Chains A and B, each alone.
Chain A
Amino acid sequence: MSSKHKILVIDDDPDLVRALRLRLRANNYEIVTAGDGYSAIAVAQKERPELIVLDLGLPVGDGFVVLERLQKSDALSGVPVIVLSARDPVDNEARALSLGAAAFFQKPADNEELLNVIRVTLPERQPTATRLS
Chain B
Amino acid sequence: MNGPAAHVLLIEDNPGDVDLVRLRLMESQPDAEVECVHRLSDALAALGRETPSLVLLDLNLPDSRGAETFRKIRERAPDVPVVVLSGQDDEALALKAVHQGVQDYLVKGEFSSKHLERAMRYAVERQAVVRSLDMARKQQIEFKNQFLSHVSHELRTPLTCIHQYVTLLLDGLAGPVTPDQSDHLKTVLKSVNQLHAMIRDLLEATRAESGKLRVEPRCIALGRLIEQAVAMMRPAAQAKQIGIEIGMDCRTPLVFADPDRILEVLINLLDNAIKFTPAEGAITLRTYLQETEPEVVYVSVSDTGRGISPEARNLIFERLYQDPDSIDNNRSGLGLGLFICRELIRRHQGNLTVASELGHGSTFTFSVQAYSLAKLLAPVIIYQEKLRPSFVLLQVDLIPVSCPPRGNWPETWKACLDTLRRCVYVDKDLVLPPTGSPGATETFFVVASTDIERAGIMTTRIREQLGRLSDFDARASVSITTMPVEAGLIAGQTLDEQVRAVAECVNEKIMEILGKNNR
Contacts and interface: CB of A to CB of B under 8 A. Distances in A.
B404 A19 contact: no
A111 interface: yes
Interface in B144-163: 149, 152-154, 156-157, 159-161, 163
Contact of A102 (B171, B173, B174, B407): B407
A102 B152 CA distance: 24
Q: Which of A88, A91, A121 has the most CB of B within 10 A?
A: A88
B404 A120 contact: yes
Interface string A68-95: 0000000000001000001110110000
B203 A107 contact: no
Contacts of A125: none
Interface string A38-79: 000000000000000000010000000000000000000000
B153 A86 contact: yes
Interface string B160-187: 1101110110010110000000000000
Contacts of B171: 26, 111
Interface residues of A, number: 26
Given A90-B214, A107-B160, A120-B404, A23 B411 contact: no
Main secondary structure of the interface of B (DSSP, over half): helix
A84 to B, nearest CB: 9
B428 interface: no
A36 B156 CA distance: 19
A97 interface: yes
Interface string B407-426: 11001000000000000000
B196 interface: yes
A102 B411 CA distance: 9
A15 interface: yes
Given A22-B168, A22-B173, A88 B203 contact: yes
A108 to B, nearest CB: 4
Given A22-B173, A88-B203, A90-B207, A108 B168 contact: no
B214 to A, nearest CB: 7
Nearest to B196: A108
B192 interface: yes
Contacts, number: 63
B164 A20 contact: yes
Contacts of A32: none
Contacts of B160: 16, 86, 107-109
A57 B152 CA distance: 14
A59 B165 CA distance: 24
A31 interface: no
A56 B145 CA distance: 20
Contact of B174 (A16, A20, A22, A101): A22
Nearest to A90: B214
Q: Which of B153, B165, B171 has the most CB of A within 10 A?
A: B153
Nearest to B153: A86
B159 A108 contact: yes
Contact of A121 (B153, B165, B173, B407): B407
B408 A13 contact: no
Contact of B157 (A20, A86, A88, A103): A86
A111 B173 contact: no
Contacts of A101: 408
A88 B164 contact: no
B19 to A, nearest CB: 60
18 contacts: A16-B161, A16-B164, A19-B161, A19-B168, A20-B164, A22-B168, A23-B167, A23-B168, A23-B173, A80-B407, A86-B154, A87-B153, A88-B152, A88-B153, A90-B207, A90-B212, A107-B156, A108-B196
Given A102-B408, A121-B406, 13 more contacts: A13-B161, A16-B157, A16-B164, A57-B153, A86-B156, A86-B157, A88-B203, A103-B408, A108-B159, A108-B164, A108-B192, A108-B196, A109-B160
Interface of B: 149, 152-154, 156-157, 159-161, 163-165, 167-168, 171, 173-174, 192, 196, 203, 207, 212, 214, 404, 406-408, 411
